Amino acid sequence: MDLQLKDARVLVSGGSRGIGRAIVEGFLAEGATVAFCARTEAGVREAEAALGEKAFGSVVDITDSVALAAWVEASADWLGGIDIIVPNVSALAGGSDLETWRLAIETDLLGTVAFVKAAQPWLVASDAGSVVLISSVSGREVDMFAEPYGVIKSAVIHYGKTLSVKLAPQGVRVNTVSPGNVYFEDGVWGRIERETPETFADCLAMNPLGRMARPDEVARAVLFLASSAASFTTGTNLTVDGGLTRGVQF
C-alpha cells in the first residue's frame, strides 16, 4: 500500500527515542521531511545526526507553551508548512500526590493541546492536514499505571474525538493510537525489567502474543492513520496492544 507520504511535512514531539524515534524514522523512510523535538540537547543531537538531513531536531520543553509555539512556527518555516503532527511526549507520571498530577496534566494533556493549537493554522492550510495523538491502553482500563497516567491518557482520547468533530469541516483529520506494553531498553519496561524483574515477568505474561510490542509496530499504525491511505478515518482510537486489553470496542 502506498501511504503517499513522500514530501509530507511532519512534526513529532518526543522524537529522539522510543516510540517517537520510531515514528520519525517511519516518516523518513516514506520520504517525508520531519521536524522533531525532545527535552535534552544530547538526545536531540544524537538523533539528528543519526536520522539524516531530512530530520531537524530542536530542544523544547513541551510544558512551555511559548517555546512550543516558537518551535512550531520555526518548523513550519523550515518545512514550508505543516501537514501532519504527532504529539507524543508523556511524563509517564505515577503517584497520587498533587505535584505528580500537575506534571501529568501539564505534559500529557496541556502539552498536547498547546501543540495542536500552535499547529492548527498550518494544518488547516494543508490539503492533507492530519493529527495523530498518542494515548495508551491505560486510558481504557484500570491497570498499574492508572493514576494519574491512565486518567490523563483517557482525557487525550476524549480530546482527540472532540477535536476530530471540530476540525473535520476544515479538512483536518484527528485520530489516536493507544499502545499496549512497548519494550525498548531505555524505556519504562526496560527499567522495570532491570529493577523489578518479577513485576516485568508478570506483566509480560499478560500479553497473549507472548511478548511486548516494538516501537516500530506502534509507529506503523501512526503512519497509516496520518496518511491519505486513511483518508476517510477520523475520530478513531486505534488500540495496538497485541490483545492485552480484554474490553470489547464498540
**Which residues, given as ranges, of the chain have pLDDT below 50?**
none
Cell digits of residue 172? 483536518
Distance CA 23, CA 46 (A): 16
The one catalytic residue in 16, 58, 130, 136 is 136
What is the model's pLDDT at position 249? 82
The one catalytic residue in 75, 153, 159, 227 is 153
What is the model's pLDDT at position 250? 78
Distance CA 222, CA 107 (A): 20
For residue 23, tell me if it sits in a domain.
Answer: yes
Domain that residue 158 falls in: 9-182+214-240
For residue 74, tell me if it sits in a domain.
Answer: yes
For residue 201, tell me if it sits in a domain.
Answer: no
Domain CATH number, residue 63: 3.40.50.720
What is the model's pLDDT at position 29? 98
For residue 143, tell me if it sits in a domain.
Answer: yes
For residue 202, tell me if it sits in a domain.
Answer: no
166 is catalytic: no
For residue 2, tell me if it sits in a domain.
Answer: no
For residue 193, tell me if it sits in a domain.
Answer: no
What is the model's pLDDT at position 158? 98
13 is catalytic: no
What is the model's pLDDT at position 205? 96
For residue 198, tell me if it sits in a domain.
Answer: no
pLDDT in tens, 81-138: 999 999 999 999 989 999 999 999 999 999 999 999 999 999 999 999 999 999 999 9
Cis peptide before 169, with omega less than 30 degrees from 0? no
Distance CA 32, CA 223 (A): 11
The one catalytic residue in 149, 159, 178, 183 is 149
Number of domains in the chain: 1
227 is catalytic: no
